Amino acid sequence: MPEYQLYCFAQSGNAYRVALMLNLIGADWEPRFVDFFAKGETRTPEYRERVNEMGEVPVLAHGDKKLSQSGVILTYLADRSGKFRPEGEDERLEALRWIIFDNQKLNGYLGPYRFLKNFAKPAGDPAAMAFLQGRAKNSLAILDKRLATREFVLGERPTIADLSLVGYLYYPAEEFGFDIAAEHKNIAAWLGRIKALPGWQHPYELMPGYPLKG
Ligand X SMILES: N[C@@H](CCC(=O)N[C@@H](CS)C(=O)NCC(=O)O)C(=O)O
Residues within the interface to ligand X (CB under 6 A): 12, 14, 42-43, 55-58, 69-70, 103, 111
Please, which residue, 67 or 181, has the CB nearer to ligand X?
A: 67
Please, which residue, 112 or 183, has the CB nearer to ligand X?
A: 112
Please, which residue, 55 or 208, has the CB nearer to ligand X?
A: 55
Q: Angle of helix 107-118 relative to helix 13-24, nearest 10 degrees?
A: 120
Q: Could you tell me the smallest distance in angstroms from the CB atom of residue 109 to ligand X?
A: 12
Cα torsion 96, 100, 101, 103: sign: positive
Q: Could you tell me the smallest distance in angstroms from the CB atom of residue 39 to ligand X?
A: 11
Please, which residue, 155 or 172, has the CB nearer to ligand X?
A: 172
Name the DSSP class of 43.
Answer: G
Torsions phi, psi for 133 (to 5 deg) = -65, -40
Q: How many Å separate Cα 85 from the centre of its chain?
A: 17
Q: Could you tell me the smallest distance in angstroms from the CB atom of residue 10 to ligand X?
A: 11
Please, which residue, 119 or 178, has the CB nearer to ligand X?
A: 119
Q: Could you tell me the smallest distance in angstroms from the CB atom of residue 66 to ligand X?
A: 13
| Separation of alpha carbons 117 and 128, rounded Å | 11
Q: Could you tell me the smallest distance in angstroms from the CB atom of residue 166 to ligand X?
A: 13
3-state secondary structure at position 89: helix
Please, which residue, 133 or 183, has the CB nearer to ligand X?
A: 133
Q: Could you tell me the smallest distance in angstroms from the CB atom of residue 59 to ligand X?
A: 9
